[in-house]
Structure 1
Amino acid sequence: MPSTIQQKIEALREELHQHNYNYYILDEPTISDFEFDVKLKELQDLELAHPEFHDANSPSWRVGGGVTKNFPTVQHQFRMYSLDNSYDFNDLEDWENRILKTIEDEQVEFVAELKYDGASISILYENGELKEAVTRGDGFQGDEITNNVRTISDVPLKLKGNFPDRFFIRGEIYLTKKNFDKINKSREEEGLDLFMNPRNTASGSLKMQDSAEVRKRGLSAVLYQYISDDFPAETHWDLLANAKKWGFKVSEDQAKLCKSLDEVKNFINYWDKERHNLPFEIDGIVLKVNSLKQQRQLGYTAKSPRWAMAYKFKAEKVETELLSVSYQVGRTGAITPVANLKPVLLAGTTVKRASLHNEDIIKKLDLHDGDFVYVEKGGEIIPKIVGVNLEKRTLLQQPIEYIKNCPECGTELVKLEDQAIHFCPNETHCPPQVVGKMIHYVSRKALNIENLGSETIEQLYREKLIENCADFYTLTKEQLLPLERMAEKSAQNIIDGVENSKQIPFEKVLYGIGIKHVGETVAKKLVKNFNTIEELRNASVEELCQVEDIGEKIAISITEFFKNSENLEMIERLKSYGVQLEKGENTNEVLSNALEGKTFLFTGKLSLFTREQAEEMVEKHGGKNISAVSKNLNYLVVGEKAGSKLKKAQDIGTIEILDEQQFLDLIER
């Protein structure tokens, strides 16, 4: 029987690998998304029932779920060099001349590829299976992020065809414009700060601790460089073709094999205009000598290959008129000045507004009413003013004076000495702040009340049905039904969602009520130390500062929150409606004192439990988790591929090093 189940699991895996290849690499799907999801669910159920047939490269790993708190540092077997940059064709001609001095009496071909704007990655494949994925880091070593890379659909978990036994493939992890906009729209609805550009967002996403959250970001990958001691081809162009056959998404379709530098220039000129029509961001063109033999002849400088060059596009800059400066109020009361511009076409889109960030930026630019300003797109995404055309300024124009009062409620603004931003202190009655706090309260990471989006909350506020988070619990279906675009089912879903939120644990509620500087992590640490909202309310600044990672700034913010009578009234109402404002019965249940007085740190890839489960075991048996290797550490528990923490512990010499099973044995003893 087990062999039959194993065969079924392996057959499903092979079929789903093929469907992924058809969809992501060939762009020729042969089944519907629904049919794929049904097969994937069947595989997941079988794998859950039969863990003995575990395979880290199963298609089920695409959905993520593994939690990684610390990413081990891994040495690159082959250094990841940076590229020299060029900004005009003269630079390219100089580069070609240097090449021809070394490569005599041979034709030199170039491969021109799009320079994707993302995060570099190096992936190891052994026997056709993804083994390890490491960030570029400093070029000599990087962070191992294999679980997160496994969730990216463009990266094959198993290869096809006739591939080498062991090699590295390098490429770029990036975000499409569509997925970047989708992420920012979601963050806007949750009252969070927007991400600045796809490149930084992609890079940050790769280091998220929960691989399921990485999956939700919708990252993409393009693989463009084969690395090994042995090469199964004589040219880079042929290696790209081979990589595509093995199952990699490569840049071949938007690359060109150029016989001369003139062909390279034509390729660059074409994409300098067409790049704005791409669904992803590029910041230039990468050029490589095609012949691998010639690459070896050319070699490397101290930091770059001599056989490759990056041509960087110039940031497009346009001139337009500054019509006015308006001011936006965020959830936390932060004021953001915005330049309203005469519409102008820039990098393929019409620009009407540009953030001015704060008063210091306005002063630095010396902005005047009616100035003609130069606008660029930072990272090809965010419009920003980079200068003023002083020749067009007249004596009648006056400097922009930063506002003194909130544009929404009229309250006098405040500016802290150590911050560049002005704030509106009227956090309980300034409309954007009030609405922003309620949007934050219902967000996924807080109370997770579905069907209550930002537009619905704004509408409820305008109709005077809600004024703070406690008012959600007094809403009735009869109040909701008259609202625009509100059907009976939608209204009932909101009522049910509000009711279900009463089961959300204390730490998420504490995060949701929106105390300034209290994020998810801080909320969890506070709940570990204070059993109820009353204990937290009565804590002094000194007592709060005793909590790990809580400094004076956060402590003062917490005590100020509880001094506000309206906040206290809201808390009392939430309690009366049944919202969880005290720790659950088993949250800090102590099972034994087996580890009392001992400190622990976990490193490497754990296989018997997740890091979160391990740290919970330490606490439930009387021990303490610490975040770094030092002389205060008693035990370092190591999983696979433990890196710098293990070496540091060995150097200290007094730290006991355990594997996972020894850690479990220690608890049992």
Structure 2
Amino acid sequence: MTDTAPELQDLHRQWDELAEQVRHHRDLYYNGQPEISDAEFDKIFRELQAFEEAHPEFAVPESPTMEVGAAPTSDAFADVVHLERMLSLDNVFSPEELTEWLEKTPGPYVTELKIDGLSIDLVYENGKLTRAATRGDGRVGEDITANARVIPDIPHELTGDFPSLVEVRGEVFIRPEDFPELNEQRIAEGGKPFANPRNTAAGGLRQKNPEDVKKRKLRMICHGFGAREGFNPQTQFEAYEKLSEWGLPVSEYTKQAEKPEEILGIVEYWGEHRHDAIHEIDGLVIKVDPIATQRQLGNTSRAPRWAVAYKYPPEEVTTKLNDIAVSIGRTGRATPFAVLEPVFVSGSTVSMATLHNQHEVKRKGVLIGDTVVVRKAGEIIPEVLGPVADLRDGTEREFVFPKDCPVCGTELAPAKEGDADWRCPNTRSCPAQLGARLEYIASRGAFDIEALGEKGAQDLIASGVLEDEACLFDLTEEDLQKSQAYTRKDGQINASGKKLLANLEQAKGVELWRVLVGLSIRYVGPTAARALAARFKSMEALVDASVNELADTDGVGQIIAESFKAWFEVDWHREIVRRWADAGVRMEDEAGEEIEQTLEGLTVVATGSLEGFTRDEVKEAIMSRGGKAAGSVSKKTDYVVVGENAGSKAAKAEELGVPMLTEAQFVQMLEGGPSALDGAGE
């Protein structure tokens, strides 16, 4: 028992450290410039919650886990007491946690997108806006009425049959599409760049001069209500309908749901479509819909028991920008990229992120040595959004764009006057460009050469086996013996080498459009390549076609046509085509091979697992028959093919009334078009 006192002191120290971190970062979030991302704050907050669950004696009323928001710290605005306390929301972070909450919380429910913005409280008396305030600590906020009046979405007077008193809660935000323009203006005026839309909205709402508030392009959407007189809705959804009738902005994404499985489907849908909304989101809010049930469930000291926020994995984190380097792509484009202190975001560790071009580096105002905000949205390449400028200590330095290609030393220049992108003009021999082109040739969208990856491509170049891609299909065992990636220690080719030669032989018979893609002609991707191959049938006819003839091809146009024609004016480009043809690469689509365009003009979405098709094969089947293979369901979708374990796309199709097909019906439609379905799927 002698260790009890030291152990208790150690527990006190751990609690104090965690509690102080939470208070510090929460205060910066509500009253200043955050130093860490929301996800990093959530992690610290959950650590404190877990600590208090393990040691209940520390779950005291003054703990940050019992508090809402943060008390106002500025003297610029008067303090105001909310008519009814503004609460926070408890969070869940996995489908399992959400399912557990749904099992103990009866429906029906209403779901809302969790807007990544700043809470606002509006009071309307006899239809007139009499006060606006920030959330503050939930009881006391800052009076920002004058600023709220210049936000276009906030009406000064309500319309229709409004109550004598209503306290409306909402979220103020900046649309992502408006954010770059705000930063450009900020930097042009000599100010520090904004880190992200949420912080910019928070700072904008607290400007002393309402004219400065106008410049922030603030928007607002309502998501609840507090005190009210003469307003007694039966459900949350009905309340939103009333708010809309009175002229207040409500979300177009709010939905009602009866069962937990519907909620999980909506969670999955928005997890895949986080960037489809007009504002940034960091989660989905689920509320019990009937107001009477909300009252029965009541609240904890900080959050309602009848609502919860499902938080999606973080897409934004902060980390150190150690350096800015430049990479060279397959078309010669020189792209600055951030060399980062490794950080975990959206399911993977990120150590590099794109900065697009030299003008973007300057526009975003990032300096080498900055703490920066990094976003990784789904499968998109990680991107640096901007610096946390308040954390600068003076050791940061500006990035200087190189004059020469960092790989081959050729002087960089824009392809034509006015281009934002600079390129390495050594297109044929620059190892970076050639390596990237070889990888692109080997990709599934082109020749699908499985044994030729990044490592193999670089090795073939470094060992002198390939000077350019012209002799790729001429490779022999003897050639590969000069490489390291494709040989054994005894100098004979290994299994990868044998596989590469087999892959190359098989690839010689691919369709013409895939050959066109593999040539890496600027702007000629799979869609344009398909259209050109379908019309002209052979490489010879394509080379002989005029710019106007190429441009008249559906889905091509003038820019692609000019780029295509210009590519063939280069001697070594034509040599590639000649050498490939001599090696046996097919340069025309065989007669009678044309696929009937049974899906022409139709948009088709596939969801779930299909027995007879891989994901790529489904897309290929749709596109080769003239259809559009879309990734999401909308009112413009004509059919949705539903396989095993279909998710939210099937639910969305049902909601919109889009015809759904089984795999067998899909095969029928591929063969004979919609008329072959005999009314199936309607």
Structure showing greater Rg: 2
